[in-house]
Amino acid sequence: MGVLGRMLARPSGAIGLGLVTLHLLAAVLSPWIVPYNATAIDAALMFAPPDAAHWLGTDQLGRDILTRTLLGGREAILVTLVATPIAVAWGGLTGVHLGLAGGRLDDVLMRVVDAVLALPWILKMLVIIVTFGAGVNVLIPTLAFFYGVPVIRVARAATLGVVARDFISAARARGHGRASIVRRELLPNVLDALMVEGAMRWSWMLLAFSSLSFLGFGVAPPTPDWGLMIADSRSFMAIAPWAAMAPVAALSSLIIGINFTADAFAKAVGLDRAQTAPH
């Protein structure tokens, strides 16, 4: 049985993969399957409760919540699906090289990593966004940089568990250079840990993106976005709780799906997430 089969054999893996697949399909197909215009305002339908015409009700501007919820994950998924591989790639390669090199360079750069991680992520993100703007061209590299820093620690820890093995010594004895050892010996042995870490970074990036939209630094209205929908509806929870419940449920289900998938993958390849997580 392959890795995918072992993942699907676990209830958490089947549920996680199902949720993630459902959200990805919704992100791709939602422009063609939504029942209404996401930005059309209808004052006569303000705070309409769920009914046969509007399954999840309407918001404070009479916009269909089901439509906006289906479309609300597109921007977040697009941005984070681009930023996550970049974060894992640069953070993973940096961590592998540091774990192989060791010595003073490793000590100095890891103290820099610790200093960056010590700062609250929201402050770091807001400084960049306020300075350069909140467009996709800013959000993607910003998320990729700040969420790639903790990947360095994970990749370095995984590498330290490999560099002491005999096949690394044999590769050095054969005269292989550092780049060759990284490419042929280290990366294949730390790739599973990096894939699990990548899934976790994706979920945290989604939360960060939605948090920025909630604070007004992400997607600009009237574009549908889960974080923005929650921010717009939080003042009306007493009279129209459905307006906030739908985007919260959508975001939560995607995060749960990613975490279940990452956990099932880690177990399928024999990884202990508690050991690979940065401390």
Residue 1: pLDDT band (50, 70, 90) is: low
Does the pLDDT at position 254 exceed 80? yes
Residue 210: the pLDDT is 92
Tokens of 186: 């280290």
Predicted TM-score (pTM) of the model is: 0.89
Does the pLDDT at position 173 exceed 90? no
**208-238 tens-digit pLDDT:** 999 999 988 888 888 899 999 999 998 888 8
Residue 72: pLDDT band (50, 70, 90) is: very high
Does the pLDDT at position 102 exceed 70? yes
- Mean pLDDT, rounded, for 131-145: 89
CA angle, 116 as apex, 114 and 120 as ends, to 5°? 110
Out of 129-138, 144-153, 186-195, 262-271, give the one with best mean pLDDT.
Answer: 144-153
Strand partners, 21: none
More confident residue, 136 or 231: 231
Q: How high does pLDDT run on average in the chain?
A: 89
CATH of the domain at 248: 1.10.3720.10
Token pair 């998924």 in the structure block, residue: 77
Residue 4: the pLDDT is 87
| C-alpha to C-alpha distance for 57 and 101, rounded to whole angstroms | 58
**16-59 tens-digit pLDDT:** 999 999 999 999 999 999 989 999 899 889 999 999 989 999 99
Residue 55: the pLDDT is 94
101: exposed, middle or buried (Cβ count in 10 Å: 0-12, 13-18, 19+):
middle
- Percent over 90 (pLDDT), the chain: 57
Residue 172: the pLDDT is 78
- Mean pLDDT, rounded, for 157-167: 84
Residue 153: the pLDDT is 93
- Mean pLDDT, rounded, for 55-71: 94
Residue 273: the pLDDT is 54
Domain count, the chain: 1
Range of the domain at 266: 3-276
- First and final CA of the chain: distance in angstroms? 33
Residue 165: the pLDDT is 80
Residue 11: the pLDDT is 92
